[in-house]
Amino acid sequence: MAAALFVGFLCFVQQAQAQSDQLKKLMLANNCMACHMIDKRKYGPQFDEISSKYMADKKAIETLVTKIKAGGKGVWGEDPMPPQPQVSDADAKTIAELIMVLKPKE
Ligand code: HEC
Domain boundaries, the chain: 13-100
Class of domain 13-100: mainly alpha
The structure's pTM equals 0.92
pLDDT tens digits for 24-74?
Answer: 999 999 999 999 999 999 999 999 999 999 999 999 999 999 999 999 999
- In contact, 51 and 100? CB cutoff 8 Å: yes
Q: What are phi and psi of 93, to 5 degrees?
A: -70, -45
Atom 30 of ligand 1, nearest CA residue = 68
Ligand 1 mean position to 10 CA, how many Å? 32
Ligand 1 site: residues with CB under 6 angstroms? 30-32, 34-36, 43-45, 50, 64, 67-68, 72-77, 79-82, 84, 87, 95, 99
One DSSP character per residue, 63-81 reads HHHHHHHH-B-SSSSSPPB
Atom 41 of ligand 1, nearest CA residue = 32
Atom 37 of ligand 1, nearest CA residue = 32
Residue 11: per-residue pLDDT: 86
